[in-house]
Amino acid sequence: MGPQQSLLIHDATQADLETLQRIGCDTYREHFSGVWTHAGMQRFLSDDFSSENLASSLAATNQHLWLLAKDGAGNAQGFAKLNWNSPMPLHNTLGAVGVELQKIYLLKSATGKGYGEQLLRVICGRALARQQHLLWLDVLQSNRAAQNFYARFGFRSCGEIPFSTDMLDIGMQVMAYDLTSRPQAHPTTCS
């Protein structure tokens, strides 16, 4: 792992739409091409990162927050999308509502620089500023590296939900983080 470099993180706006499209498609292809057919991946990206869907999501600031992460030279390295007041999707967490970290993607070339942790700390700060006390996400069951990253930060596994692509039936691991604790200080319980 190389030395930690500083990441510049700002709230994305309509002016960042094309950058989000480009970095979103690039990072998704880099990380998830193995679970989709080529055609399925194209369909997913054409819908998920369409100009219309992104513009609508960027405008709905009472429901979503997009964060854009750039390196010191101003090059986009990744992004995150938060959904406010989102219920967790598991029976054992019925009634638990918090911030869903729907997307957090960094370019593969940006790994090992401490960017993921920096972005996650900013996410926690933004969630706390909105009086949210729970941060949750789902991650591919097969993505042990991501699960380990979140666990090191203080997330705890809460259960599994189904997820399918046009090629595979794969599960998603739901993980949660108690925002009222200091980062990495206390475990999050899911029951």
**170 in Cβ contact with 139 (< 8 Å):** no
Position of tokens 């406010």?
84
Pairwise CA distance, residues 119 & 172, whole Å: 22
pTM of the prediction? 0.87
Tell whether the model's pLDDT for residue 35 goes beyond 70: yes
Burial 22-52 (b: 16+ CB within 10 A, else e): ebbbbbbeebbeebbeeeebeebbeeebeee
Q: What pLDDT shows up at residue 3?
A: 54
Smallest CA-to-CA distance from 120 within 159, 78, 85, 86 is with 78
Domains of the chain: 8-178 (3.40.630.30)
Position of tokens 């080529």?
38
Pairwise CA distance, residues 163 & 168, whole Å: 9
Dihedral of the alpha carbons of 6, 29, 87, 101, in degrees to the nearest 10 = 0
Question: Residue 10: in which H helix or E strand, if any?
Answer: strand 8-11
Pairwise CA distance, residues 33 & 150, whole Å: 22
Q: What pLDDT shows up at residue 55?
A: 96
Instruction: DSSP letter for 97, please.
Output: E
Binned at pLDDT 50, 70 and 90, residue 32 comes out as confident
Q: Between these two residues, 93 and 157, which has the higher pLDDT value?
A: 157
